[in-house]
Structure 1
């Protein structure tokens, strides 16, 4: 089939490095456990994990069962509030989300609201939700129509609003370094301050049982404040915990506190002027949030996952169950519709045939901390830190199974497989060459310990390229796998953490020094020919054509034009919700491994190029006006519709249907892409209601 450029639909002007060039496509955003809420009637738990929410069946608390992972946000889920059949998510910069969870297995998003600052604590009272919004204070939001939450009032507190508790017509605001503020909310449209008590720490959460307010005060523990006079609340007692008090709940005369590194604290508050410790339990991780059910405490413990702790009448504490949440996402590869993600607790296999609802389908818990992964045939080869190389059969993605392993003397950080050999970057023990012709019985054949900080390895022909930390790039001859020999070293590349080879050049991610480009046409004399100091810390890099994609730590994804190695410049970026460590390019999208925020999926559109419709004979044009309930396609294909901000609002996988439901698409201007076979069709459309 021949292709012609028939019609220029619109032109994007040349612009600087701007995130409008990089569109969010989808994600699997799960990670550390930050928030928990419990439905006592249905025995369902809502667990904030990274930027998502797991819905857990806790009928048997000793064996929680995951019912859903469909609730997603674009920032960390910091707080969860449950009322009736609705779940309210407070997700930092992504604001408020409202979800119908009447069917826990199939939650449905009802509405959302994003304010000028991050969303933290929340409480529902009648038709109003009271939202603590950091520097922006307290917002009062009318939720009588959940699909269109409407802010009707605001109190601009002097501190950072983290937590809120409503009793009758008074709101009690945990206001960070400005302590407890008492707010009159009798008129939701005009809340105003009444009194305050400046606590010595950072007020993060508050629970009120008149006449006292109990404040989780950060590094100053529990503060008890007499609020019988709202104009002049006065501290009458405190207990300075050993950790950092994030969240608290009350049960009769006991305060249960999520106390950070200390874990779970139980404080006797029968005498408010003299609270005393009853007991504590220290789980793995950092305890951020908790909720109660009868004689059970549910804990969200950061990288320590979700923990279930039972207590008796004497308040003895015993962990009885839990549910693992993903840990630090490190590296990933893509094959077909599957993402193979390694993180601190092993390998996770994700189906991303629909990027907006990428789901976990398989998991294998490696013995140590998985750092790198390489896919070859039906096998995933995993660099598993102190446990060396693990070989996992992934022919059935829902049941990955280890079939072989080979321990290495150092810390296995990366692996590259070529022919019948696995090349392992073993940190202080250099390069290890392992024969994997029989994947069930891998065995070391050779090694070169010249690299003393081997972080990453890439093999091309008979050369192994080693990202060698502060020692830069090392090139090793592996023509004889039993006796690899170092050829050369090039320094001046920062802290070399990642390396890829493309079209005669070696590209090195050098941490705080950005990226370096090295000509290795003469392996004995590698020569740096270009570089670019990125905004963050370059942890990973991948290259295609004239574009380099960089996992840039706290600066997220950076997109570089590398066509001229002597004149590299940034052409796009996207600030990911967590530090970016690894990435890959699947030929269409960029997939980023983001610490506690799992996998983020982006699409880059090069600026300054006329965007056109390409089609073969007989293909009619894309509609430019959208009306009615359906978009009728002129041909089959994968459809993506982006709003004017470049955010994906509709995804339709390729199938035989030619009509797509668009009734819920608001009026406005959108960009539409359709991929069919080898053709790519792009246009600007106007949605009329």
Structure 2
């Protein structure tokens, strides 16, 4: 189903690919050199020796009746830091802890769900991690006493950046305040003071007993000898350039300055800081200095789309930019541990290198977990993924909680879609046509045939015939016994693109880039005949169609799902519609459920056994842009662009929302009493262990209507009252979530409100 129109509607694919593609193999720089560069032995970004089944897992689902089983890759990489032999870094909404004792074969120890995206900074305090969510202005504390089972402790919001001084955290906020938090007792984080600043706080850094704070146009300096009564010393006008990071050494402050690069400031006299040099890095539109690290007379700067910049600061008054790694376009953080350099690229993942000498880096490792996944095809144990950058990726999903990449195949042009039938995999490309692979042995895939005459959008096989959807030239029919083209249909020049064709002999149902499902009689392959066409409510923009018995289910822009009777293709008529104004881009019918790909990100599910109501019974929100999906029994495989492949489990019982492979022996959610109820009822549950507990209520459309509890609780037996005065009569679901360490367990129950 990987259809072109979803890519066109969500943006220019070529522009996205310009951002995604990084030309990085075997590069030598005049001033900074890489050696021993080899990506040939990577599986899921980990060496073959890594046992992924030892990795901790935590679910990220926020939706009704759908749970996250597994995911590959983990997502985009932002912040990075290290201590001893362990590396701590972010992958999308996850904190990854990995043992880098052998940087060529790192071992991932745990993966903890953090619930917010784009981690800006990771700070150590003994066995605590302070994690900054820079897009949501949140500070999260995580106990890493047991690195295999980190425990989330507390959130502090309104914090855009933070620094540590003894037992105090100084959190810069966007409301002109800097909060002072006492974290001496990790179970009782308290705000003990604050001080006002001139403007919004973007950055804070502490060296000795001085605090440096950026407010958007000034770098302010405070004396915090008395931690609770900071005393302002001075301010340095930064010409409205944001300072994002700093390193202090021998009276000099080396600052990563957004839109500029590197500033070197003499701060020996705190009342009179002096800028010694300003180093502009790259072109104006390529300066996005984020973080920096210094070793001897070299400063390494994570320069966003400008790559990894390197500056010679032998003479601080005349610093010289060197040739860094400009081929990387999303470098977010950099960290030095001894002679080892780590840096994160949002797109490419984590890099590890030895600093051989001041101008040479020996490449050790790149996790390469990032991908841009736009389509997926699955059989019993293997998932095939279209990756706009790396080509065809083959993933072992026999254990869906820990999907493992086992092979890759270079991309034939820009791939659009996959179609798998038996051991034959058809890969559509808009540059090189249609490629056919033999995938009977996923470790040794063989190319069988190539059709390069047309721009291929999608393929479908029925019997001995291949139906190839093309851009601008309709559907072409091939006899696959001889690979001879025998016929075609929808060749009208007014139809720009055929997105998909469904074959149900003797008819073909084709969706086009527009408003119609077109039906053709294909009894005679050399002369297909037009039969009929039908469209959606208000001729809304048609996204997809699925057939089930005598019914066709369509999804269209603005009007959700509609149902048509196609028993007689010459007399198609509408029979019903889903009563929900939702936007979907694709649909699959499985048993008595309609699975729908949400227009922006995620999955929606209708129960189609109840044709009078079509209740909306499931939903899952993903991070990026959902492009395509497949459903096998109750498992959904969803291609989510930058966020990779989601493996989701649909709980069709509506009683338990957990993967069947896990049990929680004493985690009990009881039926509310009374039920049905009028206005008020009580919900009782039992926790086998302490943790963070969330109890929410959803309506039949999957919308959250009440939060009854969101707090930490010890193990025990609890009863929570629910007063539903403001809700209408109907069916509701209540959902209990227990997060304890990296384990997240969910339970659901259904109830009825009668007024």
TM-score by structure 2 length? 0.64
1:207 aligns with 2:258: no
Q: CA deviation at 1:248?
A: 1.8
1:35 aligns with 2:35: no
Q: Choose from 236, 239, 246 the match for 2:279.
A: 239
Change (3 A) 1:367 1:580: closer
Secondary structure in 2 matching 1:204: strand
Q: CA deviation at 1:644?
A: 0.9
Encode CA deviations 1:348-372: one digit per residue, 9 max, x unaligned.
4364857xx4433534334245543
Q: Choose from 101, 114, 131 the match for 2:155.
A: 114
Q: CA deviation at 1:264?
A: 1.6
Contact 1:95/1:112 (<8 A) preserved: no
Q: What is the CA–CA distance in structure 2 between the aligned matches of 1:532 and 1:432, rounded to whole Å?
A: 34
Q: Choose from 302, 314, 322 the match for 1:278.
A: 322
Q: Choose from 618, 639, 646 the match for 1:593.
A: 639
Q: Name the structure 2 match of 1:655.
A: none
Q: Name the structure 1 match of 2:659.
A: none
Change (3 A) 1:627 1:180: same
Change (3 A) 1:610 1:483: same
1:291 aligns with 2:331: no
Change (3 A) 1:158 1:532: farther
1:454 aligns with 2:505: no
Q: What is the CA–CA distance in structure 1 between the aligned matches of 2:87 and 2:632, rounded to whole Å?
A: 35
Change (3 A) 1:193 1:383: farther
Q: CA deviation at 1:454?
A: 3.1
Change (3 A) 1:415 1:376: same
Contact 1:541/1:582 (<8 A) preserved: no
Contact 2:356/2:362 (<8 A) preserved: no
Secondary structure in 2 matching 1:644: strand
Q: What is the CA–CA distance in structure 1 between the aligned matches of 2:98 and 2:190, rounded to whole Å?
A: 31
Q: Name the structure 2 match of 1:372.
A: 417
Contact 1:22/1:602 (<8 A) preserved: no
Contact 2:531/2:570 (<8 A) preserved: yes
Contact 1:455/1:496 (<8 A) preserved: no
Q: Name the structure 1 match of 2:11.
A: none
Change (3 A) 1:313 1:20: closer
Contact 1:33/1:47 (<8 A) preserved: no
Q: What is the CA–CA distance in structure 1 between the aligned matches of 2:484 and 2:96, rounded to whole Å?
A: 40
Q: Name the structure 2 match of 1:50.
A: 92
Encode CA deviations 1:543-586: one digit per residue, 9 max, x unaligned.
56786554334464455688899998977755432223334455
Encode CA deviations 1:630-657: one digit per residue, 9 max, x unaligned.
99xxxxxxxxx9941379xxxxxxxxxx
Q: What is the CA–CA distance in structure 1 between the aligned matches of 2:83 and 2:358, rounded to whole Å?
A: 23
Change (3 A) 1:380 1:495: same
Contact 2:176/2:201 (<8 A) preserved: yes
Q: Name the structure 2 match of 1:168.
A: 208
Contact 1:80/1:87 (<8 A) preserved: no
Encode CA deviations 1:31-56: one digit per residue, 9 max, x unaligned.
554325354742x5445333335556
Q: Name the structure 1 match of 2:598.
A: 552
CA RMSD, Structure 1 to Structure 2 (Å): 5.2
Secondary structure in 1 matching 2:641: coil
Q: Name the structure 1 match of 2:3.
A: none
Q: What is the CA–CA distance in structure 2 between the aligned matches of 1:444 and 1:566, rounded to whole Å?
A: 45
| 1:191-270 equivalent positions in 2, closer than 5 A | 196-197=235-236, 199=238, 200-209=240-249, 211-228=251-268, 235-241=275-281, 242=283, 243=286, 244-270=288-314
- How many residues align? The count is 613
Structure 2 unmatched runs, 5+: 1-61, 657-667, 671-683, 699-712, 720-733, 738-746
Encode CA deviations 1:161-181: one digit per residue, 9 max, x unaligned.
554432233343455x45545
| 1:392-541 equivalent positions in 2, closer than 5 A | 399=443, 401-402=445-446, 404-419=448-463, 423-433=467-477, 448=489, 450=491, 452-470=496-514, 472-480=516-524, 496-510=542-556, 520=566, 523=569, 538-541=584-587
Encode CA deviations 1:602-649: one digit per residue, 9 max, x unaligned.
677899x999xxxxxxxxxx8847668599xxxxxxxxx9941379xx
Q: What is the CA–CA distance in structure 1 between the aligned matches of 2:92 and 2:374, rounded to whole Å?
A: 14
Change (3 A) 1:360 1:191: farther
Q: What is the CA–CA distance in structure 1 between the aligned matches of 2:209 and 2:366, rounded to whole Å?
A: 38
Q: Name the structure 2 match of 1:578.
A: 624
Change (3 A) 1:488 1:179: farther
Q: What is the CA–CA distance in structure 2 between the aligned matches of 1:442 and 1:159, rounded to whole Å?
A: 69
Change (3 A) 1:197 1:416: farther
Contact 2:686/2:718 (<8 A) preserved: no
Q: What is the CA–CA distance in structure 2 between the aligned matches of 1:38 and 1:553, rounded to whole Å?
A: 36
Structure 1 unmatched runs, 5+: 1-18, 612-621, 632-640, 648-662, 674-680
Q: Name the structure 1 match of 2:189.
A: 150
